[in-house]
A and B are shown apart, each in its own frame.
Chain A
């Protein structure tokens, strides 16, 4: 996708996205809860102060009495002692009868006066350079026969309330931060956990071999099952299309091979009937070209066969020694034509499990290659030995030109040929076939140029049965 380049790195993985989103939500919730706790705490502290102030003012109001027409008051000790409860706050008070100050701070004027006896008015005002909370209660006292309205105002600064509020706010802040950290941790854990099926699904797909197109059979969460189904359908279609093209190639190779055989037989016959050297030369060239063509067709067929049979590999007992003998015998006439001697050194039994036809085709292709690239009057050694406890090794060693060092790693790719092939005709499929067969059997193909002497060395390594 072209727009991934514009996405910041921390937004590219679903896990990081989830974690960041969850952390964002946690942050919002933490701030919200801190704000709520703080405002509740402040509210509670303020209400407590209000209640204490009301209690204080009420206690004072209740101590009012009258004697012989004069209003008397003895401030109850508790009325002021209780104001200590909130914190170290300055306290002001005023008791007035009919507007006249009876006692207290003359200039403490209640901002709102309760209308009826028993009413309470609670206000916050500025007094003597501080914010104070004032509570005023109203009581009617009978002075002689005259009912006199008396206002009792008690005021207190708000330092204690602020201190309680900010103390609780700090505690709430610490708790909120702790909760946030916990939530982020849990969010990361949850995101990781939620993505585990996706990761293991991805790993299962990655772990597959390059030609493994079997459908995936595993339990996945509901969200992933469309992906799984789509992937399986894709693999099925891919498999079908590969099979179809292999079938087509096999069919084409087969169709080409039969007429080629006829052409070759006719050319052979003609060779015996013509007299002129030039004509003979021409016919021989035709025969060689036909041979090459039929060889390429065989290899294409072999390759298709490998693709087919490797999908459902047979597990027969195969004796490598026997197999080597059979292939060597089969190629002996071709080698004879170039005066090449095939020397077999294979003492059985060397048991492996696998598909005899495929293994034979692998060895034949390798050996055929060696014969093709070896100059006349040389030897080719086919040696079987035990590489280690678990593996057999078949070494095919010739005295030809060897592999060109620079193209060594690529030689087993399809239709890839070495850089030192000169005029020799070839398809580039031989080593590919051999390697595919060995891969299917859990073995491997090793190409090298021996340190001493000329020639190429090909090792077929197969696990022992």
Chain B
């Protein structure tokens, strides 16, 4: 989930159709050969470590199909598909960019019994399908939080930050929304839903906040005790770490939770559409489970907690285009930088 030069790639969107195919910047790639020549090319923002068990399970059920799994950032994925790169399935945590791909006509429609079983809010035009519902959470260090009361709402968190400057001085972490697509999505949605976001951001800026590209690094630093609090961490990653590391804890916020949907689509350029359909159905079946089995990613039902229900999961719809607009992005980043980066 690294956003390298998001702004320029977004400007590039308007020129992409004319530009030649750029080399794809991959973080990881692995081929899982099947017993036949069929290979489904998957491009994804999900780490291999997370997706491997799922791919192996899929191949156990469909041994003939080979999977060529590419890991890249959501911006790279977006521009690769937009440029007409040939992939059979695109899986991304950046639902706004996925939505834009479908809106601009880069996705093809697919319907099956499984897609019909999805809740209405988890699909758009039979082109974009959600298979996880992952909240943004605040993760705290047990050790550094030993003497502090656990805040239950954003208001209480603000009060806590105000009253204990020394405890949080330079030990708060959050996404650098300028480089992280997911961080930007969480921040814009929260800013839209609640006016506490800007007060919290200003306060975090005042206390001195470390900015991160990725959830895992934040979790690492909270675990090691370098950070007291990491705000807007991907809940699924945090939960998975907490299961094997008791130095961490998730702050149970009762006022609201921003819930992101991880989505998959079949690009218009897909060639192995049958294999892609099987892979997509398998993904969605994981999303329809009551509890995760093959991986730590929470299924769609996870969006049904009281705090998540406050605003519901981020809506798959044209409103996602609003914060992708370059004028809006510039304005938002300007305001965010003013609040957060006060050096």
Contact = CB atoms under 8 A, between A and B. Distances in A.
Interface in B287-343: 315, 317-319, 321-322, 325-328, 331
B244 interface: no
A193 interface: no
B14 A79 contact: no
A75 B322 contact: yes
Nearest to B326: A103
A410 interface: no
Most buried by B among A79, A81, A106, A159: A81
A128 B317 contact: no
Contacts of A74: 327-328, 331
Nearest to B317: A84
B327 A80 contact: no
A83 B322 CA distance: 12
Most buried by A among B14, B319, B328: B319
A89 B317 CA distance: 9
Given A74-B327, A103-B326, A128-B104, A80 B319 contact: yes
Nearest to B124: A88
Interface in A89-109: 89-93, 102-106
A92 B105 CA distance: 11
Interface in A63-80: 72-77, 79-80
Interface in B246-263: none
A81 B326 contact: no
Contacts of B102: 90
B318 A84 contact: yes
A453 interface: no
Given A90-B105, A103-B326, A106-B14, A80 B331 contact: no
A209 interface: no
Interface of A is mostly: mixed
A221 interface: no
Contacts of B162: none
Contacts of B124: 88
A236 B285 CA distance: 93
B188 to A, nearest CB: 9
B192 A77 contact: yes
A210 interface: no
Contacts of B192: 77
A75 B317 contact: no
Interface string B79-107: 00000000000000000000000111100
A225 to B, nearest CB: 68
Contacts of B327: 72-75, 102-103
B125 interface: yes
A130 B127 CA distance: 15
A75 B188 CA distance: 13
Most buried by B among A72, A76, A80, A102: A80
A90 B103 contact: yes
A128 B325 contact: no
Contacts of B315: 81, 84
Nearest to A154: B318
B125 A84 contact: no
Contacts of B322: 75-77, 79-81
Nearest to A93: B321
A80 to B, nearest CB: 4
Interface in A124-150: 128-130
B317 A81 contact: yes
Contacts of A76: 322
Nearest to A84: B317
Given A74-B327, A77-B192, A128-B104, A105 B14 contact: yes
Interface string A150-189: 0000000001000000000000000000000000000000
A159 B326 CA distance: 27
B125 to A, nearest CB: 4
B187 to A, nearest CB: 14
B319 A81 contact: yes
Nearest to B331: A74
Contacts of B319: 77, 80-81, 83-84
A151 to B, nearest CB: 15
A93 B322 CA distance: 10
B104 to A, nearest CB: 7
Contact of B325 (A81, A104, A130, A159): A104
Contacts of B103: 90-92
A103 to B, nearest CB: 5
Most buried by B among A93, A103, A105: A103
Contacts of B105: 90, 128-130
Contact of A159 (B104, B125, B328): B125
Interface string B116-146: 0000000011000000000000000000000
B328 A75 contact: yes
A77 B96 CA distance: 14
B304 to A, nearest CB: 21
Nearest to B192: A77
A94 B319 CA distance: 15
Interface in B171-229: 192
Contacts of A72: 327, 331
Nearest to B128: A88
B178 to A, nearest CB: 18
A80 B321 contact: yes
Contacts of A93: 321
Interface string B159-171: 0000000000000
Which 6 interchain pairs have the tightest Cβ spacing?
A91-B318, A81-B319, A84-B317, A80-B318, A88-B125, A80-B319
Interface of B: 14, 102-105, 124-125, 192, 315, 317-319, 321-322, 325-328, 331
Given A83-B317, A90-B105, A91-B318, 19 more contacts: A74-B331, A75-B322, A75-B325, A75-B328, A77-B192, A80-B317, A81-B315, A81-B317, A81-B322, A84-B315, A84-B318, A84-B319, A90-B102, A90-B125, A93-B321, A103-B325, A103-B327, A104-B325, A105-B14
14 contacts: A72-B327, A73-B327, A75-B327, A77-B322, A80-B318, A80-B319, A81-B317, A83-B318, A88-B125, A90-B102, A90-B125, A91-B321, A93-B321, A106-B14
Interface of A: 72-77, 79-81, 83-84, 88-93, 102-106, 128-130, 159
